[in-house]
Amino acid sequence: MTIITRMKRFFKDVYVDIKAKEFGLLKERLKKAFIGSKYTNGVIYKFFVYVMLFSLGYVYLYPMLYMVTNSLMSMSDIISVAVRWIPSTLNWENYRIVWNDINYPRALLDAFILAFFPAISATVSSAIIGYGFARFRLPFKKTLMALMVMAFIIPPQITMLPTFRMYANYELLGSLRAFVYPAILGQGLNGPIYILIFYSFFKTIPKSLVESAQLDGASAVKVFTKIVLPLAIPSVIIVFLFSFVWYYNETYLSGLFLRGSDMMTLPLRVSQYISEYTSIYPEGSRARELMQAVSLAGNILALLPLLILYFFTQRHFVESIERTGITGE
């Protein structure tokens, strides 16, 4: 084999190696661009993420957009086939009708009273019960926690009749006490969830912190109020907001236990107003058609206070959720 042939083969092998390396680099670049490192930041991954986000956003936003646009429609827009989303004119009369007919300021005040006091009671009682489960050795502790979880699993419809009879015997029906007293005893709406939230958080507090306070002469009550409870502010915010929203939106139990009372939750008042309004007018009448927009306006007025509340508390709410994930000893 001549020297020229060997040189040609050498340069050919070098060229092939260079091409292979270039192909490998190109392959790695394409893989990183489309798939990303560890499948987390590539084009394909981002594509599926954005598709899921837009899909979920559409599912959640569609009802709200439908409610807002249709609540501002006049009767001619509702019966018109050409009008689907954008009303020809903004008809605020639907909101005025609901505002005046249900006496919205008074109804909103009653709804806040019905939600605030039980929420405060549930927050305080759940914190005390959760701390007791987390820090003290109690007889039949595991059995009591199992019963507490079972109380949450059982639907309230099953215990509706005995609960109603018990409230009737204690003369709690038709008053705010039907919600406040059970909340004080840790048996409010979704009470076991609140207790488990506090229990999980109190378990993360280092025992050395509590023991140091006890060595300094602090009593159990002072340890709870001065040391443990300030650390549990994130859990307090979460439990209070959850409890407030659940009591505010409650329609089933409030319609059962507050029957005969002038106070009721705002969603229940709007629902009763719509049912009474529609029962007056026959099916297919123009007034019945108008009721579609009026009912949507009433639902928005019932939902609006919660949206405003979340708008002002979202930062604290998100921070509280993040801080409740802190682990300790």
In tens, the pLDDT along 108-141 reads 998 999 999 999 999 999 999 988 888 888 788 8
68 or 285, which is more confident: 68
Is the pLDDT at 147 greater than 80, yes or no? yes
Question: Which domain, by its residues, includes 49?
Answer: 3-58
Residue range 54-58: average pLDDT? 84
Same domain, 240 and 137: yes
Give yes or no: residues 108 and 49 share one domain: no
pLDDT score, position 326: 42
What pTM did the predictor assign? 0.76
- pLDDT tens by residue, 160-213: 888 888 888 888 888 888 889 988 988 888 888 888 888 888 888 888 887 788
In sequence order, the 6+-apart residues with CB closer than 8 A to the CB of 314 are none
Residue 183 lies in a domain: yes
Whether the pLDDT of residue 94 is over 70: the answer is yes
Assigned domain for 69 exists: no
Is the domain of 35 the same as that of 109? no
Number of folded domains in the chain? 2
In a domain, 93, yes or no: no
- Which strand (E) or helix (H) includes residue 268? helix 266-280
Q: Please say whether the beta carbons of 298 and 292 come within 8 A.
A: no
- Do both 224 and 132 map to the same domain? yes
Residue 23 domain-assigned?
yes
Q: Are residues 243 and 305 in the same domain?
A: yes
137 with 207, same domain? yes
Predicted local distance difference test score (pLDDT) of residue 327: 41
- Alpha-carbon torsion angle 178, 179, 180, 181, nearest 10: 50
Quote the distance between the C-alpha of residue 208 and its chain's center.
35
Residue 60: predicted pLDDT: 81
Q: What is the pLDDT of residue 125?
A: 92
CA atoms within 13 A on the CB side of 93: 7
Same domain, residue pair 151 and 282: yes
Average pLDDT over residues 235-259: 86
Mean confidence (pLDDT) of the chain = 78
Same domain for 280 and 144: yes
